[in-house]
Structure 1
Amino acid sequence: MTAAPAPTPTPARRRRSRRGRPWTIAERLSAAWLLVLVVGMLLLPPLRGIDPLDIGADARFAGPGGDHWLGADNLGRDLLARALDGAQVSVMIGIGSVLIAAVIGVPLGMVSAYFGGIAAAVISFVVDVILAFPGLVLALGLASFLGASVTNVMIAITVPMFPVFVRLARAQTLALLETEYLEASEVIGTPVLSIMRRDVLPNIAEAILAFGFVSIGRAILIEGSLSFLGIGVPRTQPTWGGMINEGRIYMTTEPLLILVPAAFLLLTILSLNLISDRFLVDGDPVTGASA
């Protein structure tokens, strides 16, 4: 008589997140802002036929109105068009740098926790060395050394960010190693890669996703800081930080030059932070047990 195949072990308890609860007003507004931002930066400038780089001497410091919905800057360039064009750069850099950091950091953290030994020691040493530098200071140094370009800014943001993903993935994986279903997977001879992909990664995904949303906001803030200092993307490309830098000398007489990009920056980072709350786990970050 042939023995029945052993059932695949499954977690005894599903992790409880906040995704099942109704959306709060703050979360709805945050999602609405992010949707409006994405749609606006992709569609509005082409539909209005406005080039964010167009200079108009007659429109210098124009107030909000029909031709310039949020006004114009010191060169007559449309502030809304420039803010939406800058959003494309900021969002691309924010999402891209976080994705790269997660793709590098999460597997390293899982390997460090699962195998330990020399692999864990080497990974921990590299992580500790990078984290010994303040993140913004390290990004400033890398951006200054590499030069002004979108790719270099992404590298400058990714380097100080991926070690945090390593530590987060390592901590989550170490806690999972204590669970019975993971031990059962090892007993029945499940390959290590399958355990990582099927048992470990899905159970740490919510924590990684929640931290990812917060990290996108942080990456956008760092990019804005670099652009404000003139070492981010090239000055010819509108960015929120670059717009604030250009408008600071007119801060007392034309505050819209700073308020418009600052409002876009603030609302985007705040919305990402609020949306990340939906992926937080109630109670213990791994098992879902209430504190």
Structure 2
Amino acid sequence: MAVSEAGIQPATVAAAAAPRRKPRTGLRVILPAIWVALVAVLVVAADFLPVPSPTHMDFDAAEARPSLAHPLGADLDGRDILSRLAHGARVSVIVSVAAPLIGLVFGTFFGLIASFYGGVPRMAILGVLDAMLAFPSLIFALGLTTVLGPTLLNVTLALGIMSVPAFARIARANAIVLLNREFVLASRTAGAGDLYVMFREILPNMAMSLVTYALTVMSIMIVAEGSLSFLGVGIPPPTPSWGSMIAEGREALERAPHVCLIPAFAMFLTVLSLNLLGDALRQKTEAKEGGLS
């Protein structure tokens, strides 16, 4: 039986007129937030946990499985894995926060300059950014930490410099779109200068895009720091880091897999959680911008 357009039209109109339901905050946001909060608690409470020092060696407990004495077991030298995991989280958190912050500040500044001004400033900035993007990031960080020395400051600095081009590209792309918006033109008409327009009109309106990307970069920095520590040019011993724990545990992967797999699993969950939170924030920002357009 054919159905007439008149019978379909009211239902179609009603469906179109019905308000869209806001997406609920599901487990894909709650669970990552809980894990990130747990890592933050470990970072703060690492010195107060009822476990041995991360550098204390108990050779009688070498490669011990999880037990009451060692909740997550012990490594090849009898050091408590939970204690080293908590103190290693400090390294990951410091690097994953400080390095993107360096890239965010300098990348945003250079991106704004390249979007506002043409000629030599734009060509110089874009040329340097293209050269940095063409060079393998991990090789750059590896070379810089080798030359400067494997310290927490140098690792953070190397990874921060590595993230500048990406932030600059995102800042420039957002600024170019916003330059032709009505509020920017109105500010120009009122006599506002370039610095005022940059930091009072453009920057606040692209802040969410930069913050969303910063969450993704944080997860990348955790993996990059772990890679440097795995290669032996990250944080030097006796300071524990997740990458060095994985590197040390690979020697006994067959007879004591927990020594390597536990820090690897912690790194995996942290990176996954940050990516999921960043994706959720991006979707929320896009939905809000779509509602305002």
TM over 0.5, yes or no? yes
Deviations 1:2-36 (A, max 9, x none): xxxxxxxxxxxxxxxxxx74322011000000111
Aligned 1:1-291 pairs, distance under 5 A = 21-280=23-282, 288=290
- Runs of 5+ unmatched residues, structure 1: 1-19
SS of residue matched to 2:268? helix
Bigger radius of gyration: 2
Determine if contact 2:88/2:242 at 8 Å carries over to the other structure: yes
- Tell me the TM-score normalized by structure 1: 0.88
Change (3 A) 1:289 1:164: farther
Change (3 A) 1:257 1:66: same
Q: After TM superposition, give the deviation of residue 117 of structure 1 in Å.
A: 2.4
C-alpha distance in 2 between matches for 1:286 and 1:111:
28
C-alpha distance in 2 between matches for 1:149 and 1:244:
19
SS of residue matched to 1:166? helix
SS of residue matched to 1:236? coil
Q: After TM superposition, give the deviation of residue 135 of structure 1 in Å.
A: 1.1
Determine if contact 1:111/1:120 at 8 Å carries over to the other structure: yes
Q: After TM superposition, give the deviation of residue 44 of structure 1 in Å.
A: 4.7
C-alpha distance in 1 between matches for 2:42 and 2:289:
40
Determine if contact 2:73/2:82 at 8 Å carries over to the other structure: yes
SS of residue matched to 1:70? coil
Deviates more, 1:136-145 or 1:125-134: 136-145
Determine if contact 2:32/2:277 at 8 Å carries over to the other structure: yes
C-alpha distance in 2 between matches for 1:278 and 1:33:
15
Which amino acid in the other structure matches residue 182 of structure 2?
E
Determine if contact 1:203/1:286 at 8 Å carries over to the other structure: no
Change (3 A) 1:42 1:284: closer
Q: After TM superposition, give the deviation of residue 203 of structure 1 in Å.
A: 1.1
Determine if contact 1:281/1:288 at 8 Å carries over to the other structure: no
C-alpha distance in 2 between matches for 1:163 and 1:284:
23
Deviations 1:261-287 (A, max 9, x none): 101100110010011023215797996
Determine if contact 1:251/1:258 at 8 Å carries over to the other structure: yes
Q: How many residues align?
A: 272
| Higher RCO, 1 vs 2 (CA within 8 Å, ≥6 residues apart) | 1
Q: After TM superposition, give the deviation of residue 216 of structure 1 in Å.
A: 0.6
Deviates more, 1:178-187 or 1:274-283: 274-283
Determine if contact 1:207/1:281 at 8 Å carries over to the other structure: no
Deviations 1:102-143 (A, max 9, x none): 111101101110122221111111111111101112111212
C-alpha distance in 2 between matches for 1:95 and 1:283:
22
